[in-house]
Chain A
Amino acid sequence: MGNCFSDLEGGKQAVGGGSHQRPQNVRSDAGHNDAVDHFFRTKGLHALFTKMELSLSASKLRDLDVLSKSDPMVVSYQKKRDGSLEELGRTEVIMNNLDPVWIQKINVTYQFEIVQPLIFRIYDVDTKYHNLPLKMLKLNDQEFLGEASCYLSEIVTRQNQSLTLNLHHRDGRSSKNLGTLTVHAEETVASRDAVEMTFRCSHLENKDLFSKSDPFLRISRTVESGGSIPICKTEVVNNNLSPVWKPVCLTMQQYGSKENPLVIECFDFNSDGNHVFIGKLHKSVAELITLHQNKTGANFISPPSGFRRHEKLLKGQLFVDGLIEKQLYSFLDYISSGFELNFMVAVDFTASNGNPRSPDSLHYINPSGQLNAYQQAIMEVGEVIQFYDSDKRFPAWGFGGRSYEGSVSHCFNLNGSPIGFEVEGVEGIMSAYASALQNVTLAGPTLFGQVINKAADIAGHSISDSHAKYYVLLIITDGVLTDLQETIDSLVRASDLPLSILIVGVGGADFTQMEILDADTGRRLESSTGRIATRDIVQFVPMREVHGGQISVVQALLEELPGQFLTYVRSRDIVPLNVGQSHSEAHTQQRV
C-alpha cells in the first residue's frame, strides 16, 4: 500500500516516474498540486479519486407555467453513508424549455471503492427569481418537476457513459409521465499522453571520497513564476559514474506540454540527506525526443557560483537511450469500453469460527438483522463490485466444511449444487451462505489452495475468450493457514493471470502469517518449484469493527484494485476495447 520513505532503501527508490502509476490522484478542492499529493501518498493516505463532469439533459418535462413553458434547473446531490444529502452542484436555468440540455456541468469525484448514490432534482424556477445567483435560490420556493436517482458506478460502466432515468415524485408517489433525465459522465483528464524514457549518463564527476558517486536524477517542471516543481526522481545507482536508470514514465499531466522546459538535475546520493549537486540541464520533452533520435548526449551545466560568473559546461553528459510515447489509459477508460470485473467469493467453514448457533460464533446469523463479520465483508465488497460485473452471476464457494456426505471439502459450492457454483447477485451470495450454514458442518483445516486454483482455472479459461475480464476473488477467513507453502504455490501459479485476491481476516486471530502473502514489503512470493510470482496479486486486511469513519477497512482493500488491474493490462499492452487494434500492435514491439 503506501510507502514510507524514512529508511535508506526507501530513500533510494524512484518516485513519481513509474509506468505503473496509480490512477490519477487529484484532490478535489485544491488544484493539481504534485508535491502535496505526493506528500499524502507517501504517508499512506491515498487521495484516490478521479474528477468527473456530469452533463445533464431532460425531455418531456411537465409544463408548470401558465403562459409559457417551464424554466427548469437541476440540483444534484450525493447521498452519504449516514443518509444525508450533500449538494454537488446546480445547472443553470434554461428558459421556456421542456426538453432542456444544460450547459453547466456538475463536478463529482469518482471513487472506485465506495457506492456513490446520486440524486437529481429538477425545479421550475419562477421568473421573479431569474436574476438571482443560482446558489441563492431557495429550493422550497420553486416548483418541483421531478426527481431521479442512480449510482455513479452505474453510469460509468455503460458503453457511452450515459444513463437515462425516469423522473418520479419525491416520496415515491405515483408518477405519471414526469419525463426523463439523461446523465452523461466524463472524466476530466486533460490528456492520456505519456512518455517513457530511459536515461543514461556518462563521465559524471566523482563526488564521493572513497568510492564513486551514487547518482540519481531529479526532473522538475518550470512554472510561470520562475521556480520549478519536482515531478519525479529516478532510483539511486550505487557507485557508478556512467549509470543507466530504470525507465521513467512521465504523463502529460506532469510535464505540461512537450515544449515546456524541464530541469533535469543530477545529484550524488548521501545517506545523511545532503545530496551533492553534480550538474543540471534544461530540456523540454521535445528536445529529449530529438536527443534520443540523434543518439547524442547533452552536457550538464554547473550554474554560476562563487567567483565564477558564468555557467560552466561539464564533461558529464545525459543520453536518452530509450524513448517511447504512449497512451496511458485510465481505469474508467477500460471499464467504459467494456472491461468487466468478475467477483468471486470463498467463505471459511472451519471449526475455529465457533458453532453457528452460538451468539459468540463468527458465523452467527443475528435474527435482528445485524450482519456478522462474514456478511459485512461480502456486502461491502460485493455491493461495490457488482456494478462492474455485467451478468451479476458470482461464483461462491466454501472451504473447510463437511457436507452431509461426510468428507471435508476445501472447495465446495456455496449454493449446495453439485455442479453449478454461481449465484445471482449479492443477495444470492447471502442466501447461499445462510443455507450452507444449515447444511454444512464446520470442520477444518484452513486451506486456500484449492479455492485459489479454482479461481485461477476460471480466470485462465476466460483468457481464451477475451482479454476483457478481470477476476476478483474475496476470501474471508477467521484463521491462520495450515499450509502456507501450498497457498504460496497456488498464488505463484496464478500470478500471471487476470486475477486479484482480496483476503479479509475476521475475528481475533494473529494474522502475521497472512501479511507474508501480501508481499508489500517487496519480497516476491516463491513457490516450492522455484518459480517466483510475476506480480503481487494478494491484498490482505484484518477486519475490525469500524464505527463511523468514511471508508471501512474492507473498502480500503478495494482502493488497490484499479491499480492492480491497470498494472496487469499495461504490462501486457492491452488497450480499451474501443481503441484501434493497430494501436496495440504497435506497442508490442521490442524495446531495446
Chain B
Amino acid sequence: MEKASSRVIEVTVISGEDLRVNRRNPVKKNAFVIVRTDPLNERSTGMNTENGCNPTWNQKLVLDLPMHATFITVEVHSGNKIIGISRIPLSDFTGGYLPANYLSFLSYRLRDAKGEKNGILNLSVKVNGPTNMSYAASGSMPWFGGPVTNKFSNGTVTGIPVYYRV
C-alpha cells in the first residue's frame, strides 16, 4: 500500500438552480457556496449578486483532500441563512472506472435544514494527485477479486434519512 500523501481537488462551482428561502421565496441575491472536505478544510465562492435564484459562479476552488475523507460537503448560503446542502461521496468522481484526473461534471439535489428539496447545484470536480490504491483507477479490471457485489462499492455507504421525501 503506497504511503498516501494528501490529494488536492479542484471544484468548479458552476451554478445553482431554483434556490429558495423558506421553500417559497426565491433567493434574491448574494448567494454563495462553501465547499468542505473535512471540518478543517473549506473554501467558499464569492457572492453572486445578479442572478437571484439561479446564480452562476463559475468559480474554481482548490482544496486539500485528506486521505480519510470519504465525501465532500457543499453548502449554499444566502446572507446568514443556509439554503441547502449536499454531501457528495468521493466514489461519484473518483475510483471505479474513472481515470485519474478525470473532469467530472456533476449535479446534486440540495436539501435544506428540514430535509426538504431546495434546488440543484451544478459543479465539476477533478482530483489531482496520486490516487489511493484501493480506488482501482488503473488499467486492471476492478471486478476480479473485488467485493462480491462487484459494483462501485469502495466501502462507503450513503445513508439517506427516512424523512427525505423523494
B-facing residues in A551-592 (Cβ within 8 Å):
571-572, 590-592
Give the docked Cα–Cα distance between A147 and B107 (Å): 55
Query: CB of A244 within 8 A of chain B?
Result: yes
| B139 cross-chain contacts in A, Cβ below 8 A | 464
Query: CB of A43 within 8 A of chain B?
Result: no
Given A461-B97, A528-B160: A571 and B105 within 8 A (CB)?
yes
Q: In the complex, what residue of chain B is closest to A459 when comparing beta carbons?
A: B97
Q: In the complex, what residue of chain B is closest to A449 when comparing beta carbons?
A: B151
Give the docked Cα–Cα distance between A571 and B151 (Å): 28
Query: CB of B89 within 8 A of chain A?
Result: yes
Q: How far does the Cβ of A121 sit from chain B's closest Cβ, in whole Å?
A: 50
Q: How far does the Cβ of A529 sit from chain B's closest Cβ, in whole Å?
A: 5
Chain B, residues 34-50, CB within 8 Å of chain A (1/0): the string is 00000000000000001
Find out whether the CB atom of A463 lies under 8 angstroms from the CB atom of B105: no
B-facing residues in A354-412 (Cβ within 8 Å):
none
Give the docked Cα–Cα distance between A183 and B158 (Å): 57
A-facing residues in B76-118 (Cβ within 8 Å):
86-89, 92, 96-99, 102-109, 111
Query: CB of B166 within 8 A of chain A?
Result: yes
| A164 cross-chain contacts in B, Cβ below 8 A | none
Find out whether the CB atom of A530 lies under 8 angstroms from the CB atom of B111: yes
Q: In the complex, what residue of chain B is closest to A529 when comparing beta carbons?
A: B158
Give the docked Cα–Cα distance between A531 and B106 (Å): 8
Find out whether the CB atom of A244 lies under 8 angstroms from the CB atom of B51: yes
Find out whether the CB atom of B105 lies under 8 angstroms from the CB atom of A529: no
Q: In the complex, what residue of chain A is closest to B98 when comparing beta carbons?
A: A460
Query: CB of A524 within 8 A of chain B?
Result: yes
Find out whether the CB atom of A493 lies under 8 angstroms from the CB atom of B98: no
Q: How far does the Cβ of A12 sit from chain B's closest Cβ, in whole Å?
A: 13
Query: CB of B135 within 8 A of chain A?
Result: no
Specify which of A463, A526, A533 is in contact with B102 (CB 8 Å cutoff): A463
Find out whether the CB atom of B108 lies under 8 angstroms from the CB atom of A531: yes
Find out whether the CB atom of A532 lies under 8 angstroms from the CB atom of B58: no
Query: CB of B60 within 8 A of chain A?
Result: yes
| B152 cross-chain contacts in A, Cβ below 8 A | 493
Query: CB of B127 within 8 A of chain A?
Result: no
Query: CB of A126 within 8 A of chain B?
Result: no
Find out whether the CB atom of A590 lies under 8 angstroms from the CB atom of B107: no
B-facing residues in A532-547 (Cβ within 8 Å):
532-534
Q: In the complex, what residue of chain B is closest to A200 when comparing beta carbons?
A: B50
Query: CB of A515 within 8 A of chain B?
Result: no
Give the docked Cα–Cα distance between A463 and B100 (Å): 10
Q: In the complex, what residue of chain B is closest to A321 when comparing beta carbons?
A: B50
Given A244-B50, A453-B151, A496-B104: A529 and B89 within 8 A (CB)?
yes
Chain A, residues 451-463, CB within 8 Å of chain B (1/0): the string is 0010011001101
Contact count band on B = 20 to 34
| A453 cross-chain contacts in B, Cβ below 8 A | 151
Find out whether the CB atom of A590 lies under 8 angstroms from the CB atom of B104: no
Chain A, residues 247-263, CB within 8 Å of chain B (1/0): the string is 00000000000000000
Chain B, residues 10-28, CB within 8 Å of chain A (1/0): the string is 0010000000000000000
| A572 cross-chain contacts in B, Cβ below 8 A | 103, 105
Find out whether the CB atom of A534 lies under 8 angstroms from the CB atom of B107: yes
Q: How far does the Cβ of A42 sit from chain B's closest Cβ, in whole Å?
A: 24
Query: CB of B33 within 8 A of chain A?
Result: no
Given A493-B152, A524-B120: A532 and B97 within 8 A (CB)?
no
Q: How far does the Cβ of A470 sit from chain B's closest Cβ, in whole Å?
A: 16
Give the docked Cα–Cα distance between A533 and B59 (Å): 21
Q: How far does the Cβ of B55 sit from chain A's closest Cβ, in whole Å?
A: 10
Q: In the complex, what residue of chain A is closest to B151 when comparing beta carbons?
A: A453
Find out whether the CB atom of B98 lies under 8 angstroms from the CB atom of A463: yes
Find out whether the CB atom of A534 lies under 8 angstroms from the CB atom of B105: yes
Find out whether the CB atom of B109 lies under 8 angstroms from the CB atom of A526: yes
Specify which of B59, B98, B104, B108 is in contact with A532 (CB 8 Å cutoff): B108
Specify which of B96, B98, B107 is in contact with A531 (CB 8 Å cutoff): B107
Chain B, residues 118-148, CB within 8 Å of chain A (1/0): the string is 0010000000000000000101000000000
Give the docked Cα–Cα distance between A532 and B152 (Å): 17
Given A493-B152, A531-B92, A532-B120: A524 and B99 within 8 A (CB)?
no
Find out whether the CB atom of A534 lies under 8 angstroms from the CB atom of B106: yes
Q: How far does the Cβ of A109 sit from chain B's closest Cβ, in whole Å?
A: 34
| B98 cross-chain contacts in A, Cβ below 8 A | 460, 463
| B160 cross-chain contacts in A, Cβ below 8 A | 528-530
Find out whether the CB atom of B108 lies under 8 angstroms from the CB atom of A463: no
Find out whether the CB atom of B111 lies under 8 angstroms from the CB atom of A591: no
Given A460-B97, A530-B109, A531-B106: A592 and B58 within 8 A (CB)?
yes
Chain A, residues 461-500, CB within 8 Å of chain B (1/0): the string is 1011000000000000000000000000000010010000
Give the docked Cα–Cα distance between A244 and B56 (Å): 11
| B96 cross-chain contacts in A, Cβ below 8 A | 457, 460
| A529 cross-chain contacts in B, Cβ below 8 A | 89, 158, 160
Give the docked Cα–Cα distance between A531 and B120 (Å): 9
Find out whether the CB atom of A496 lies under 8 angstroms from the CB atom of B158: no
Q: How far does the Cβ of A197 sit from chain B's closest Cβ, in whole Å?
A: 15
| A460 cross-chain contacts in B, Cβ below 8 A | 96-98
Find out whether the CB atom of B109 lies under 8 angstroms from the CB atom of A532: yes
Give the docked Cα–Cα distance between A464 and B100 (Å): 8
Best-surrounded residue of B97, B137, B166 (most CB of chain A within 10 A)? B97
Given A453-B151, A591-B58: A528 and B99 within 8 A (CB)?
no
| A457 cross-chain contacts in B, Cβ below 8 A | 96-97
Q: How far does the Cβ of B45 sit from chain A's closest Cβ, in whole Å?
A: 12
Give the docked Cα–Cα distance between A534 and B104 (Å): 9
| A571 cross-chain contacts in B, Cβ below 8 A | 105
| A532 cross-chain contacts in B, Cβ below 8 A | 107-109, 120
Find out whether the CB atom of A464 lies under 8 angstroms from the CB atom of B86: no
B-facing residues in A402-447 (Cβ within 8 Å):
none
Given contacts A524-B107, A524-B120, A526-B166, 19 further A-B contacts (CB under 8 A): A200-B50, A453-B151, A457-B96, A457-B97, A460-B98, A461-B97, A463-B98, A496-B104, A528-B160, A529-B158, A529-B160, A530-B109, A531-B109, A532-B108, A572-B105, A590-B12, A590-B58, A591-B58, A592-B59
16 example contacts (A-B, Cβ-Cβ < 8 A) are as follows A463-B102, A528-B166, A530-B86, A530-B87, A530-B108, A530-B109, A531-B88, A531-B92, A531-B106, A531-B109, A534-B106, A534-B107, A572-B105, A590-B58, A590-B60, A592-B58
The 4 A-B residue pairs with the shortest CB-CB distance in the complex, in nearest-first order = A460-B97, A464-B99, A532-B107, A529-B158
Q: Which residues of B contact A (CB under 8 A)?
A: 12, 50-51, 58-60, 86-89, 92, 96-99, 102-109, 111, 120, 137, 139, 151-152, 158, 160, 166
